[in-house]
A and B are shown apart, each in its own frame.
Chain A
Amino acid sequence: MRGLLAWGAYVPYARLDRKAIAAALGASAGSGMRAVASYDEDSTSMGVEAARAALRATPVTPEAIYFATADPAYLDKTNATAVHAALDLPASAAAYDMLGSVRSSAGATRAALDARGPALAVVSDIRTGLAGGGDEREGGDAAAAFLLGDGDVVAEPLGHASQSAEFLDRWRVPGESFSRQWEERFGEHVYVPLGESALAEGLKQAGVTTSAVDVLIVAGPHARSNKRVAAAAGVKKEAIADDLVASVGNAGAAHAGVMLAAALDAARPDQLIAVLSLADGADATIWRTTGAVTGRRPAPSVATQVARGASVPYAAFLTWRGFLRREPPRRPDPQPPEAPAAARAESWKYAFTGSRCQACGTRHVPPQRVCVKCHAVDRMRPERLSDVPATIATFTVDRLAYSMSPPVVVAVIDFEGGGRFQCEMTDVDPKSVKIGDRVELTFRRLYTANGIHNYFWKARPSGGK
Chain B
Amino acid sequence: MASNGIRDRVAIVGMGCTPFGERWDKSTSDLLVDATTEATTSAGIDLKDIDAFWLGTLFSGQSGLTLSRPLKIDYKPVSRLENFCATGSEAFRNACYAVAAGAYDIAMAIGVEKLKDSGFSGLPSTRSVGDGTAAGMTAPAMFSLLAPAYAKKYGVSDEQLKDVMTRIAWKNHKNGALNPRAQFRKEVPKDTIACSPLVAGALGIFDCSGVSDGSAAAIIVRAEDAHRYTDKPLYVKALSFVAGPGAGPIDPDYDYTTFNEVVASAADAYAQAGIKEPRQELAMAEVHDCFTPTELVLMEDLGFAARGTAWKEVLAGTFDLEGELAVNPDGGLKSFGHPIGASGLRMLFECWLQLRGEAGKRQIASVARGRKLALTHNLGGAPGECVSFVSVVGSERS
Contact = CB atoms under 8 A, between A and B. Distances in A.
B135 A410 contact: yes
B41 interface: no
A420 B250 CA distance: 5
B128 interface: yes
Interface in B109-123: 118-122
B252 A400 contact: no
Interface stretch (B62-70, B139-147, B306-314): B139-147
Given A399-B198, A400-B140, A435-B148, A335 B128 contact: yes
Contacts of A368: 250
A396 B132 contact: no
Interface in B83-128: 118-122, 124-125, 128
A337 interface: yes
Interface stretch (A24-32, A263-271, A342-350): A342-350
B136 A420 contact: no
Interface residues of B, number: 37
A463 interface: no
B120 A400 contact: no
A341 B250 contact: no
B353 interface: no
Nearest to A457: B133
Nearest 6 Cβ contacts at the A-B interface: A337-B132, A398-B141, A345-B131, A396-B201, A454-B132, A341-B130
A311 interface: no
B252 A332 contact: no
A338 B129 contact: yes
Contacts of A396: 137, 141, 144-145, 148, 200-201
A322 interface: no
Given A420-B250, A422-B249, A424-B135, A331 B122 contact: yes
Contacts, number: 129
Given A331-B138, A412-B249, 6 more contacts: A372-B245, A396-B145, A396-B201, A398-B140, A399-B198, A422-B137
Nearest to B138: A400
Contacts of B141: 396-398, 400-401, 408, 410
A337 B129 CA distance: 6
B interface majority secondary structure: loop
Given A349-B133, A372-B245, A393-B252, A338 B128 contact: yes
Contacts of A412: 145, 249, 256
A124 to B, nearest CB: 22
Given A396-B145, A397-B201, A420 B133 contact: no
A277 to B, nearest CB: 36
Given A331-B120, A398-B200, A410-B137, A342 B144 contact: no
B249 A336 contact: no
A330 B135 contact: no
Contacts of A456: 132-133
A348 B131 contact: yes
Contact of B252 (A342, A349, A419): A419
Contact of B250 (A329, A336, A344, A419): A419
A163 interface: no
A334 B135 CA distance: 12
A206 B124 CA distance: 65
Interface in A51-97: none
Interface in B228-272: 245, 247, 249-252, 254-256
B119 A330 contact: yes
Interface in B125-182: 125, 128-133, 135-138, 140-141, 144-145, 148-149, 152
Nearest to A453: B132
A366 B251 CA distance: 11
A323 interface: no
B136 A421 contact: no
Given A338-B130, A342-B132, A412-B145, A332 B198 contact: no
Nearest to B147: A396
A422 to B, nearest CB: 5
Interface residues of A, number: 46
A446 interface: yes
A373 B245 CA distance: 10
26 contacts: A330-B119, A330-B120, A331-B121, A332-B120, A335-B128, A335-B129, A342-B131, A342-B132, A344-B131, A345-B133, A372-B251, A373-B251, A393-B252, A394-B145, A399-B198, A400-B122, A401-B136, A401-B137, A408-B136, A410-B137, A412-B145, A420-B251, A422-B135, A435-B148, A454-B129, A456-B133
A400 B121 contact: yes
A464 B148 CA distance: 24
Nearest to A446: B132
B137 to A, nearest CB: 5
A319 to B, nearest CB: 19
A251 to B, nearest CB: 28
Contact of B121 (A329, A366, A446): A329
Contacts of B47: none
Interface in A408-439: 408, 410, 412, 414, 418-424, 435
A286 to B, nearest CB: 45
A451 B199 CA distance: 29
Contacts of A373: 251
A395 B141 CA distance: 9
A345 B131 CA distance: 7
Contacts of B251: 372-373, 420
Contacts of B118: 332
A364 interface: yes
B264 to A, nearest CB: 16
A337 B130 contact: yes
A402 interface: yes
B131 A420 contact: no
Nearest to B130: A341
Interface in A349-388: 349, 364-366, 368, 372-373
Contacts of A397: 141, 198, 200-201
B131 A334 contact: no
